[in-house]
Structure 1
Amino acid sequence: MDTHSSIIIYNVTVYSENQTLKNGYIKLTDKKITEIGDINQYVLQPKDHIIELSPSYKVIPGAIDVHIHGVNNADAMDGTAEALKTMASTLPKEGTTSFLATTMTQSNEAVEKALRNAGTYIEEQTSTDAEVVGIHLEGPFISPKRAGAQPPTHIQDPNVALFQEWQKAAGGHIKLVTLAPEQPNGLALTSYLKETNVVASIGHSDSTYDQVGEAIEAGASHITHLYNGMRGLHHREPGVLGAAYLRDELFVELITDGIHCRPEMVKLAYDQITSERMILITDSLRAKWLKNGTYDLGGQPVHVNDTTA
C-alpha cells in the first residue's frame, strides 16, 4: 500500500467524546487516526484503502488506566525499564493506550528506585506502545487500619519533605497520590499536592465523612478504588464511601471485575456517581495475562486461581 494513502475503516459504530456514529468511519493516515465521521458524508479518495466491517463492531477511544501496578510478569516496582516496556507493549492488546505507572507501599529506597526508573522511562519513551503519562504514588502515606494489600510494615505518616524528594527523583512526573488525609500531616500534604498540580486521592483511609470534607477543602479531588480500603457507609457515619457518593467534587475510581465488589454494588455506585465522575481502573498486578500460580505484589505472595487472586 502506498505510504501516502489512508486507511478507511467503515460501517462500524463509533463512540466519540460527545456522539455515537451508527454508520461511522475511522480514517487513519501514517498509523494515526486523523478523522472520524458518518460514512455517508465522506468523499472517497483514489488512494484510500477500504476496510469494511459491520455495525456490530463497536469502536471506542483507547482506555487510560490511572491505577495499574503490573501486567505480564512486570511491575512498576521492579524498577527497570524492561518492566515498564513490557507493560507498555502488552496493554494496547486490550485497548489501553496510556497509563499511570503505579507504585506500592514499600521501603523508601524501593519506592525511590521505582520513581527514578519511571521518570527516566517517561522522558525517554519513543515507541508506539502505550504511553506512560505519569506516576501514581499509592502509599506509603496511608492508614494502617485500611492497609488492604499494602504491606503495613512500610506505612508511614504523610510527609511533605519526603514527597518533595520523591517528586524530584521522579523528574516531576508524579501526577496522582493516594493518601489517608486523616493521618498526621495528611491535610498539609493534600494542600501541597493541590498547590503543585498533583491529584490528591483519598484511599486506604479511615476518614470520617467530615474529615473527607476537610480534605476536599484542602484540595483532595479523587477517591482510590471505591469500596476497597476505606471506611464504609453507616447510617450515622457516611465515611469515605458516603462522601464518594455525595460530594460532586470527587472523581471516583472503581474496579469492576466482579470480585473486588459485587455487580450490584457497581450498579449502586454508577447510579449515584454517574459516568460524569466515575473512573474505571484495573489495579492489576503482574499476574494479569499470566496463568494460575503464585506471584509477587509488594513483597507478598499472591495466589492466582482462575479469576481469583
Structure 2
Amino acid sequence: MTSTTVKRLTGRDPATGRSLAVVVEGERIRAITEGPAQETAWLSAGLIDLQVNGFGGLDLNDGALSIDTVRQLVGMLRGKGVTTFLPTLITASEASLIGALQVIAQARRSDPLVAHAIAAVHIEGPHVSPEDGPRGAHPRDQVRPPDLAEFDRWQAACGGLIGMVTLSPHYAEAPAYIRALAARGVHVAIGHTHASAADITAAVDAGARFSTHLGNGISATLPRHPNPLWTQLADDRLTASLIADGHHLPADTFRAMLRAKGLARTVLVSDTAALAGMPPGRYDQPIGGAVELTADGRLGVAGTPFLAGAARCLAQDVALAIDMGGITLAEALQLATANPGRFVGRRGELAVGAAADIVRFHWSPGDRDLSIDSVMVLGQSHD
C-alpha cells in the first residue's frame, strides 16, 4: 500500500492580500490555512483559456497537426500559467477538421496530463459570416451553413470531444442547429457575424450562451443601432469573451463592455495564433500571408492597419486587463479562472476539494505580465 504525497504551496490571496498555505494531497486541495507573514508571491487557480489557435510557433490550423505538436503546446501554455485550454480549430474543409480532431483525441489518450489540460475542443466556424470584415481571417471558400450531420461526424471522429462551437446566427438553419447542440451539452457561441438583432435573439432563445471575442470578428462600420454589439451586450443570458491584449479592443471599449456584461458574465481569452511567444519580426504564414509581430505584442498584416491574430498569452492579458478595465488583480483573475471554468466542468477555483491546478506568480501594479514562479497541475509541480 503506497501513501499519497502531501505538498504545501504558499502565496498571497489576490482578493485579500492575506498569506495562504495550500495543502495538496494527491490531485486535490486538502486544506487552505494561514501562510508565512513575509510571503511576496501570489497564488491563483490555474488559468483557463477557451480560445487557443497556437503558440510558440505551434499551429493547430496549419493542416499538419501532430500528436507531438499538441503535447508541446500543452507544455508551453502550462509554463505561462494556463492549466486548462480549448484547442481552437477555425473554418476549414470537413476532412481537415476531422483530421485535426483525431490528432487531438490521440494526443489526449497518450498522456493523462494532456487529457486534463485539454478539457474540450472549440470549433470556431465554419458557419461564420461569408462577408469581408466579420469573416476575419477565415477562408471564404470553406464557409458553409450549419449542418448537424457534419457536426455529428466531427464528434464521432474525436469521441465527443467538441465542447464549444462558434457560429454566425444569420443562417436559416441556425436556431435548429443551436438547439440540437445545446441538447448535446455543447456550448454554442455567437461570433464572426453580421446577423441582425432578431437573428441573435433567436439564437439565444435556442440555447446560445456565449459571445466569442465580442467587438472583433465584426464589420468595421456598423449602424448606430441596432447592431450585433448592442444586442449581445444587452442580453444577460450571454457571457462574453474579450481579448485584452491592448490591440483588439481599445481600453475604453473594453471597460464599457466589461461594465455592460458585469464581472460575472465576462471571460478573458487570448485567441493566440502560432506566432504568439515568438520574437518580433516579419513572418510568412499559411493564414494571413506576410505578417509583422511588434515588440508590444501586435500581430498585423504587414504594411496594413489590419490585425492578423493575437500574440499575447492569457497571463499578459490578465495583467493588462487590470489597467484597461480599472479592476483589481483578483477581479482580472476571476475573468481567466472561475468564469471560463464554468464552461469546462467548473474548474478554476482555489478551494478545498478542487483539483490542485495552482499558479504561483509575482505581480506589482503597472506590470504588463504575471511573472510565473511555478505551476502545479493535478498535484504535480512544474517549475
Q: What secondary structure, in the 3-state scheme, does the structure 2 residue paired with 1:175 have?
A: strand
2:13 is aligned to 14
Pick one of 243, 249, 252 that aligns with 1:264: 252
Give unmatched runs, 5+ long, in structure 1: 40-51
Pick one of 172, 175, 179 that aligns with 2:163: 175
**Are 2:173 and 1:189 equivalent residues in the alignment?**
no
d(CA) in 1 for partners of 2:56, 2:116: 14
Runs of 4+ in 1 over 6 A off after TM superposition: none
d(CA) in 2 for partners of 1:278, 1:245: 10
d(CA) in 1 for partners of 2:161, 2:287: 21
**Are 2:33 and 1:37 equivalent residues in the alignment?**
yes
2:326 is aligned to none
1:24 is aligned to 20
Q: What secondary structure, in the 3-state scheme, does the structure 2 residue paired with 1:60 have?
A: strand
**Are 2:94 and 1:108 equivalent residues in the alignment?**
yes
TM-score, normalised by the number of residues in structure 1: 0.86
d(CA) in 2 for partners of 1:53, 1:129: 37
Distance 1:194 1:129, change over 3 A: closer
**C-alpha displacement of 1:276:** 0.4
Q: How does 1:24-173 map to 2 (within 5 A)?
A: 24-30=20-26, 33-39=29-35, 54-77=38-61, 78-127=64-113, 131-145=117-131, 146-173=134-161
Q: What secondary structure, in the 3-state scheme, does the structure 1 residue paired with 2:192 have?
A: coil
Contact 2:58-2:69 at 8 Å conserved across structures: yes
Indicate the structure whose relative CO is greater, using CA pairs within 8 Å and at least 6 residues apart.
2
Pick one of 294, 297, 302 that aligns with 1:305: 294
Instruction: State the AA in 1 paired with 2:231.
Output: A
- Give RMSD over aligned pairs: 2.3
Contact 1:62-1:97 at 8 Å conserved across structures: yes
Contact 2:46-2:81 at 8 Å conserved across structures: yes
Distance 1:13 1:193, change over 3 A: same
Q: What secondary structure, in the 3-state scheme, does the structure 2 residue paired with 1:303 have?
A: strand
Contact 1:255-1:283 at 8 Å conserved across structures: yes
**Identical columns (%):** 24
TM-score, normalised by the number of residues in structure 2: 0.70
Contact 2:107-2:114 at 8 Å conserved across structures: no
Contact 2:126-2:143 at 8 Å conserved across structures: yes
**C-alpha displacement of 1:54:** 3.8
Q: What secondary structure, in the 3-state scheme, does the structure 1 residue paired with 2:90 have?
A: coil
d(CA) in 2 for partners of 1:55, 1:265: 36
Instruction: State the AA in 2 paired with 1:27.
Output: V
- Report how many residues are paired: 290
CA deviation map 1:135-176 (0-9, x unaligned): 000111110121112121211111111111111112100000
Instruction: State the AA in 1 paired with 2:260.
Output: Q
User: After alignment, is 169-178 or 104-113 more displaced?
Assistant: 104-113
Distance 1:73 1:295, change over 3 A: farther
Give unmatched runs, 5+ long, in structure 2: 300-383
1:226 is aligned to 214
Instruction: State the AA in 1 paired with 2:13.
Output: V
**Structure with greater Cα Rg:** 1
Instruction: State the AA in 2 paired with 1:67.
Output: Q
d(CA) in 2 for partners of 1:258, 1:24: 32
**C-alpha displacement of 1:298:** 4.0
2:267 is aligned to 279
d(CA) in 2 for partners of 1:233, 1:130: 41
CA deviation map 1:249-288 (0-9, x unaligned): 0011100000001111111111111110101000001111
Distance 1:215 1:4, change over 3 A: closer
d(CA) in 2 for partners of 1:61, 1:116: 30
